[in-house]
Structure 1
């Protein structure tokens, strides 16, 4: 913390001089693009000029830049090259089934040439380091902030002498668990079981390990080449070693104690917290959410909100497992029957993953309906009350609603923070990716109950019902809510969260 606080005065000097020009370029997943865009907005509010790079369809779905920020934040779309086998029109992981994501990475690699052209043009338009402009966009980029996947960016940045930083949207625990290349070479993990224990380079007792085999098998695959020809771990290591002067984390020491000094030591460069980037409270009317599809059915949303308005206070559990969860028919049916067995009110945002040949959202909604058990909708509607929404819903508005009393979630990092904003206790059902690690710290904080699952990731309806009832019906739920309020007060300290962003600006000024 002392190192970061030293940078705080630099934030003020950065904002008072010619503004920095930052280029931000996330991986093509909404779980990445949304935090990148939120960080871009926070930097733009501090007077920096931010160019956000993505593909045309993703840029459209992320929505328009708020008018108040339009002078400091712009979006530059780059056309994604076609790749054989990738669904037509697929520009994000939400558009492709899991087995096709490697092909999406291959298409993403094809953005190297267009991105190089954009950077060259941005540098040619620059008028030198000392020329002030209204927003700084005519200034040569001072930084490129990238995701884990652009291992091809180093020659571009080197040619134009632009420093790079990596922005990790994962828990800091995930980065520590992956570790640097040299530690992995010194301590090779060749079996699934090796990913189910704490890595030897974490020198203090922690719970940073995958407890179930299916999670360990998922992370083991990260270290193997995929259809793009390179592994995700190699992408990360090449990015981190060759390109990056800083690693920026969507986290903070209060959320993940002891990890920031360790990461700075392991990777031999500053690991800087950007804070949690919690979304602002939703407006009382209208939709201003951070989901991945702005082409929403207003009538459908209005119906869902009216249904919530009719429910008693804190009586509804909101159920959402993300837009990219690898759900099977078995998962959906056991979850549905578990909710029915629990006998509590629920609002379920159910999404079927896109097929290998289509990214049509209407078809995905119809597919979601087909996953449900026969007669499920009518039975739960006639009983205690349950609503299944197979189209987009405004998650923040639902979490903020007075009728919502809990959240059944896959425990993605963003969903955890959104639930904490409203101090909601959790029913935790991690499915893949970092979810098995991000959830590890939560039981110790006593803000949720994890669904009992088998080693292969499957679960039964009675386990769903038991966890839901603990949170929503039994006395334990009240204790969980109190703990959630306590943790919200710690992590939701807006002054401290703003301080981390000011210190980040100081680092960007200092290290450029």
Structure 2
């Protein structure tokens, strides 16, 4: 794909969250696989780079491409050190285990790292920057040095276009009724008005899209989001380029071997499609009330289940303070496991081998918070979903899955306010009813289409656009905004 016989240096700069860094890493792998003359640098805080460092040093596995090691050897990790804040020690320079009240502090420290990031630009001298939606200042720093950049959205087009719509066209209804949230639609977008360091998330998102050179890349594919991709392109005033679902390889062997063996042996004793996998992602603590309702639903569903529960860890404490919601949820409801018994339910603390569970023949359904990456994994694995969105973009993602026919949604009285009886009903419907059979058939069709198509075509298109941006710069065309050139 190299048009000029030279190597290209690409600097990636994701937001400080597990759900953002891993999609950036997966994109880096595919870019290096498609363009052998590309070197990708992934920039983040040391605490966030730890899991990526482990992925880079994986030994070859059966089924890997022969040149996969070579592709990974052209991915380099670059540490960004945030300025020290009294309430934000270095082990909290990540959203993982971060108490919600410290999120503004993390964004402030991130913004204050701009001088350090600019120094990295001068050292690496990349040909291109790929940045996330919370740091438009990163693109400006690159453009001042004549470096083009584009934003990569690790979320879906439906929810991104929803937020952009109510930012640009606040008085008009979102044109796609399946994704509307009723009377909650406008109020829901107010979360973007949260401010940190004098900048709202709404301004961060809109400015990142505005500054993006020529196009915006997004972790999605046209088979499921074509109309939302087109509408986002209309709102953004530039092309939106889907890069595929970026479902990662199975990295479950990075987990403790005893934990992996325990889960797989337990699953192996269960009947085909009899188990429900329950997980709410890496960054959400259930409240005491939510724990009680979820436990009640699992108990009364009659189904076998694996429940991933996040108990507060020592590293979640900051300056002697703890997340009060998490503190309340440090224990399962009294007597829960005694009533369930180890044969029917398995509770996993903190992290489970999700990919291995999703692809196991004993798995019948996935009760999910509807994080975007988890949805992509479930669809590719052909697993019907029970949607229980709790916050952020999850309610919109859930609506899309229901529209596609691959999920049933548990009713709530406001996001996060659910009842155990509805959880139990949703599990029984997906596992045993005609509606559940229809959902399974649809998601299996989707999985077959995803496996057949892959994402190489999308990656090829992205590489071509990236090289065009780099080569424009070589031809003397300025990548600086007009207002900067005028000055």
The TM-score bracket by the shorter chain reads 0.7 to 0.9
DSSP-derived class of the 1:93 partner = coil
DSSP-derived class of the 2:136 partner = coil
Residues 157 and 164, structure 1, Cα contact 8 Å, conserved in 2 = yes
Partner residue, 1:370:
330
Partner residue, 1:49:
39
Equivalent-residue separation in structure 2 for 1:261 and 1:369 (angstroms): 42
Partner residue, 1:221:
191
Partner residue, 1:177:
162
Does residue 505 in structure 1 map to residue 463 in structure 2?
Answer: yes
Partner residue, 1:432:
391
Note the 1:248-263 alignment, pairs <5 A.
Answer: 248-263=217-232
Partner residue, 2:267:
308
DSSP-derived class of the 1:305 partner = helix
Partner residue, 1:65:
56
Residues 96 and 354, structure 1, Cα contact 8 Å, conserved in 2 = no
Residues 319 and 368 (structure 1 numbering): CA distance in 2 closer, same or farther, change over 3 Å? farther
Equivalent-residue separation in structure 1 for 2:410 and 2:131 (angstroms): 35
Q: Report the alpha carbon displacement of residue 82 of structure 1 after superposing the two structures with TM.
A: 2.0
Q: Report the alpha carbon displacement of residue 326 of structure 1 after superposing the two structures with TM.
A: 4.8
DSSP-derived class of the 1:120 partner = helix
Equivalent-residue separation in structure 2 for 1:461 and 1:49 (angstroms): 50
Counterpart pick for 1:268 among 218, 230, 237: 237
Note the 1:240-389 alignment, pairs <5 A.
Answer: 240-280=209-249, 282=250, 287-288=252-253, 296-352=255-311, 357-358=317-318, 370-381=330-341, 385-389=344-348
Structure 1, unmatched stretches of 5+, are 1-11, 124-140, 190-196, 289-293
Equivalent-residue separation in structure 1 for 2:366 and 2:94 (angstroms): 26
Equivalent-residue separation in structure 2 for 1:352 and 1:217 (angstroms): 31
Does residue 415 in structure 1 map to residue 378 in structure 2?
Answer: no
Equivalent-residue separation in structure 2 for 1:158 and 1:102 (angstroms): 26
Partner residue, 1:27:
15
Q: Stretches of 4+ moved more than 4 A in 1?
A: 215-218, 353-356, 366-369
Counterpart pick for 2:130 among 142, 145, 148: 145
Does residue 168 in structure 1 map to residue 126 in structure 2?
Answer: no
Q: Report the alpha carbon displacement of residue 114 of structure 1 after superposing the two structures with TM.
A: 1.1
Residues 88 and 25 (structure 1 numbering): CA distance in 2 closer, same or farther, change over 3 Å? closer
Report which structure shows greater RCO (CA 8 Å, sep ≥6): 1
DSSP-derived class of the 2:463 partner = helix
Structure 2, unmatched stretches of 5+, are 58-68, 471-487
Deviation per residue, 1:175-232 (Å, 9 max, x gap): 211227xx836x446xxxxxxx733xx4xx442333474x864531212424x33111
Residues 40 and 75, structure 2, Cα contact 8 Å, conserved in 1 = yes
Deviation per residue, 1:18-44 (Å, 9 max, x gap): 232211010001111111111011111
Equivalent-residue separation in structure 2 for 1:212 and 1:84 (angstroms): 41
Residues 129 and 139, structure 2, Cα contact 8 Å, conserved in 1 = no
Equivalent-residue separation in structure 2 for 1:50 and 1:464 (angstroms): 44
The CA RMSD over aligned residues, in Å, is 2.6
Counterpart pick for 1:234 among 203, 223, 227: 203
DSSP-derived class of the 2:226 partner = coil
Residues 446 and 91 (structure 1 numbering): CA distance in 2 closer, same or farther, change over 3 Å? same
Residues 198 and 208, structure 1, Cα contact 8 Å, conserved in 2 = no
Residues 279 and 122 (structure 1 numbering): CA distance in 2 closer, same or farther, change over 3 Å? closer
Q: Report the alpha carbon displacement of residue 503 of structure 1 after superposing the two structures with TM.
A: 0.5
Equivalent-residue separation in structure 1 for 2:319 and 2:72 (angstroms): 30
Equivalent-residue separation in structure 2 for 1:211 and 1:328 (angstroms): 26
Residues 288 and 328, structure 2, Cα contact 8 Å, conserved in 1 = no
Residues 212 and 455 (structure 1 numbering): CA distance in 2 closer, same or farther, change over 3 Å? farther
Equivalent-residue separation in structure 2 for 1:370 and 1:71 (angstroms): 41
Equivalent-residue separation in structure 2 for 1:119 and 1:378 (angstroms): 57
Instruction: Give the TM-score normalised by structure 2.
Output: 0.86
Count how many residue pairs are aligned between Structure 1 and Structure 2: 452
Q: Report the alpha carbon displacement of residue 330 of structure 1 after superposing the two structures with TM.
A: 0.9
